[in-house]
Amino acid sequence: MASNPGARVALLPIRPRFARSIMSGEKKVEFRKVRFRSNVSRVVVYASSPIKRVLGYFHVANIHEAPPAELWARYAQVGGLDRDEFLAYYASSGEGVAIGIGEVRSLPDPLPLDTLGSLLRVPQSFAYLTDEAFQKLVECLEAQHKGESSTK
């Protein structure tokens, strides 16, 4: 299933506004302050409070680490936030990370996080998912899409 052998899957809690923008295809890059320590091929999108649901996942197209000014110059048009929000987010950071959003797979019916594993908790920044947890997400996504197409 992995197109990148040895790559991991990360779970990112994302504010609902930005999570929805990612899933709709409007937001093409997710800004973060810290780079993943492992090679990541897919990111599971968890919309934080008040939604508190997994919306789907995306394939990582690329990861670009650079000073915030460079990230803004390169990604301002596709980052899904305005300059003031961007500057406030990186106010105390000398480096930033832009995660390029590739193919997006969204769930018609978002899932509670514990659907993927009873021990999963919402991470502060991010967490790596097990292969089993990601496989549960893929199975739920396929089942939902199959059910969606059989009702049309």
Q: What CATH number did the domain enclosing 88 receive? A: 2.30.130.30
Is 74 inside any structural domain? yes
Q: Using an 8 Å Cβ cutoff, are 68 and 90 in contact?
A: yes
Any domain includes 2: no
Confirm whether 21 is domain-assigned: yes
Tell me if 131 is assigned to some domain: yes
Q: Provide the pLDDT confidence category of residue 151 given band limits of 50, 70 and 90.
A: very low
101, part of any domain: yes
CA distance 128 to 149: 31
φ, ψ for residue 63 (rounded to 5)? Answer: -135, 125
Residue 137 lies in a domain: yes
pLDDT given at position 95: 96
In a domain, 1, yes or no: no
Q: Specify if 3 maps to a domain.
A: no
Residue-wise pLDDT for 2-47, tens only, equals 456 678 999 999 999 999 999 999 999 999 999 999 999 999 999 9
Fill in the amino acid letter for 6: G
| Closest alpha carbon to 75 in 32, 35, 28 | 28
Give the residue numbers spanning the domain of 96: 8-150
pLDDT tens string 85-95: 999 999 999 99
Number of domain units in the chain: 1
* Tokens (6 digits) for 34: 């810290």
State the DSSP string of 17-61.
Answer: HHHHHHHHT---EEEESS--SS-EEEEEEEETTTT-EEEEEEEEE
